[in-house]
C-alpha cells in the first residue's frame, strides 16, 4: 500500500494533514509514537519514507506547495526579515497582551515573548528534520546500542529534578552530564514536549539508561514526595530564611544525609526563567554557584554538570578520564609508563658527553668562563628531572650534532 501526497490550497498534504506535521511528529517523538499520535490510515513505517523523502528533497518546490510554519513558506512569501514578518500581519500579541506589534496584514497571531518570536518567526527547516528521520528510520537511533548502567544503587545519589523543562535537547544534555558524574536518577516535572522524547535520547549521546529510567510527573509535589532533603539551585537572591550553600557545601551535606539513609534531591529551574519563589520555598537549602555577577545565568545542563562534578569529585570510585579493557586507571601527576627517572650515573654520563662535545666545538670561549657555564648547564638539565629514555634521546642528539653532516663516528662516552 502506498500513501498519496496531494497539493491542496497550495499545501502538500497526506490524508488532509500537512507533510510538515508528519515530519514534526516523527522527529519530536519516537517514530512509532509519532505515527501513533498522527493515526493516519495507511501511514506506517513502510509507507513513511516516501513522505519523508518528498520533504527532504524539497519536492514541494516543483509542486509549488509549502507547509504552514515551514521556512520555505516564509521565503516564498518574500518575508526576509522580522520587520517583514510583523508588517505582513494585522497584529502580533506578545504574552498577556500588554505588548502588541501592529502591521499591515489581516491576520492576528500571538507569541509568548519577543525573544520567542525572534527565534521562530522564519519557520522551521522541516526538510532537514525529514533527513534526520529518514536516517533513524533506516539505521536506528545513533548510539541506541549503548546502554550503560547506574553508578550507584537506588537512593545512593541525589535525584536530579528538572522543573518544567522546555527543550528535549536540554533534557538529553542533562542526562549526559549526569552519566558523566554518577548521578543516576532523573525526574521531570511536566516537560513541555512530553515524555518519552526521541530528541532527548539523541542529545544524551549514549547516556540511554538515564533517559530510559527517567520519570515524568505532573507536579513538583509528586516529584519530591519521597525526598527527605531538597536543595534548589538559583542565581537570584530570594527573601527566604533558608541556608545558602555553595555546590561543594551542598554536596557534602547530601553525602552526610545519604549516608544516614535519607533521600535527597537537586531541583533545577526552567531554561527561560528558573524557579518561582513558591517552588523554591519547598527546598531545605539554596545552592548558588560562584559566577560572574554581571552574567549569572547558566545553561541548564551546565548547572547540572557543575553539581555533578562536585558529587563525583568526592567519590572514591572516581577515575581520571576513561578506563577500558586496554587502559589502566590514571593517577594525578607525571605518569612515566614503562619509563623511569634517570639515575645520577646516567645524568653524569650525559653531562660528560655534552661537555666534551662543547669543548671540541670551541663553545667555552673565553676558557675561564667554562666552570660557571658548566654549572649552569648541569643545573638546567638536573631541574628537568629527565627520564632514562630522555637522557638517551639527548645523548643521541649530541652524538649526531658532533658527527655533523660528514657522518663521523659515534661517541662511545
| Full domain range(s) for residue 378 | 344-406
Q: What's the chain's average pLDDT?
A: 89
**CATH code, domain with 374:** 1.10.8
Range scoring the smallest mean pLDDT among 1-5, 70-74, 307-311: 1-5
Q: How far is CA 92 from CA 95, 118, 301, in A?
A: 10, 12, 32
Tell which residue, 20, 115, 148, 8, has the closest CA to residue 65: 8
Q: Comparing 332 with 263, which gets the higher pLDDT?
A: 263
Query: Can you name the residues that pair with 159 across neighbouring β-strands?
Result: 185, 265
- How do residues 253-308 score in pLDDT, each as one tens digit? 999 999 999 999 999 999 988 999 999 999 999 999 998 988 888 999 999 999 99
Count: domains in the chain: 4
In a domain? residue 151: no
- Which phi and psi angles does 214 have, rounded to 5°? -65, 145
Residues 109 and 164 in one domain: no
Crossing angle for the helix pair 388-403 and 344-361, to the nearest 10 degrees: 20
For residues 174 and 162, is the Cβ–Cβ distance under 8 A?
Answer: yes
The DSSP 8-state label assigned to residue 193 in this structure reads: T
Rounded-to-integer distance, Cα 243 and Cα 241, Å: 7
Q: How many of the other CB atoms lie within 10 Å of CB of 198?
A: 23
In a domain? residue 323: no
- Which phi and psi angles does 155 have, rounded to 5°? 80, 0
Residues 106 and 136 in one domain: no
For residues 73 and 66, is the Cβ–Cβ distance under 8 A?
Answer: yes
Rounded-to-integer distance, Cα 65 and Cα 63, Å: 5
Please name the helix (run of DSSP H) or strand (run of DSSP E) that holds residue 20, with its range, or none: helix 19-28
- How do residues 52-109 score in pLDDT, each as one tens digit? 999 999 999 998 999 989 999 999 999 999 999 999 999 999 999 999 999 999 999 9
Per-residue confidence at 142, pLDDT binned at 50, 70, 90?
low
Amino acid at each position: 500500500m502506498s500513501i498519496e501526497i496531494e497539493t491542496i490550497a497550495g499545501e502538500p498534504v497526506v490524508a488532509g494533514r500537512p507533510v510538515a506535521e508528519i515530519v514534526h511528529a516523527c522527529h519530536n517523538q519516537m517514530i512509532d509514537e509519532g505515527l501513533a499520535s498522527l493515526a493516519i490510515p495507511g501511514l506506517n513505517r513502510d509507507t513513511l519514507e516516501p513522505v519523508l523523502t518528498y520533504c527532504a528533497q524539497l519536492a514541494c518546490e516543483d509542486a509549488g506547495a509549502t507547509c504552514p510554519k515551514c521556512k520555505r513558506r516564509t521565503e516564498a512569501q518574500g518575508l526576509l526579515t522580522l520587520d517583514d514578518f510583523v508588517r505582513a500581519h494585522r497584529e502580533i500579541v506578545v504574552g498577556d497582551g500588554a505588548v502588541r506589534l501592529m502591521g499591515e496584514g489581516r491576520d492576528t497571531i500571538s507569541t509568548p515573548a519577543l525573544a520567542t518570536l525572534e527565534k521562530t518567526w522564519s519557520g522551521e527547516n522541516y526538510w532537514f528534520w525529514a533527513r534526520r528521520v529518514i536516517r533513524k528510520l533506516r539505521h536506528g537511533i545513533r548510539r541506541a546500542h549503548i546502554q550503560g548502567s547506574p553508578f550507584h544503587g537506588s537512593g545512593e545519589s541525589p535525584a536530579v529534578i528538572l522543573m518544567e523543562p522546555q527543550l528535549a535537547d536540554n533534557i538529553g544534555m542533562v542526562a549526559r552530564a549526569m552519566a558523566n558524574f554518577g548521578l543516576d536518577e532523573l525526574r521531570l516535572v511536566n516537560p513541555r514536549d512530553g515524555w518519552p522524547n526521541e530528541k532527548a535520547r539523541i542529545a544524551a549521546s549514549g547516556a540511554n539508561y538515564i533517559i530510559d529510567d527517567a520519570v515524568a510527573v505532573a507536579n513538583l509535589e509528586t516529584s519530591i514526595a519521597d525526598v527527605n532533603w531538597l536543595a534548589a539551585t538559583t542565581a537570584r537572591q530570594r527573601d527566604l530564611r533558608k541556608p545558602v550553600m555553595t555546590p561543594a557545601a551542598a554536596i557534602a551535606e547530601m553525602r552526610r544525609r545519604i549516608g544516614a539513609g535519607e533521600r535527597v534531591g537537586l531541583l533545577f529551574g526552567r531554561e527561560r526563567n528558573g524557579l518561582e519563589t513558591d517552588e523554591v520555598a519547598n527546598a531545605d537549602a539554596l545552592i548558588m554557584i560562584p559566577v560572574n555577577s554581571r552574567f549569572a545565568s547558566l545553561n541548564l545542563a551546565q548547572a547540572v554538570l557543575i553539581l555533578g562534578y562536585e558529587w563525583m569529585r568526592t567519590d572514591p570510585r572516581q577515575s581520571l578520564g576513561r578506563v577500558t579493557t586496554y587502559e589502566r586507571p590514571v593517577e594525578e601527576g607525571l605518569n612515566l609508563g614503562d619509563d623511569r627517572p634517570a639515575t645520577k650515573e646516567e645524568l653524569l654520563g650525559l653531562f660528560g658527553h655534552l661537555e666534551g662535545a662543547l669543548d671540541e666545538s670551541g663553545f667555552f670561549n673565553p676558557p675561564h668562563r667554562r666552570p660557571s657555564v658548566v654549572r649552569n648547564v648541569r643545573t638546567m638539565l638536573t631541574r628537568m628531572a629527565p627520564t632514562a629514555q630522555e637522557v638517551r634521546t639527548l645523548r643521541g642528539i649530541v652524538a649526531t650534532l658532533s658527527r655533523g653532516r660528514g657522518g663521523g663516528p659515534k661517541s662511545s662516552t
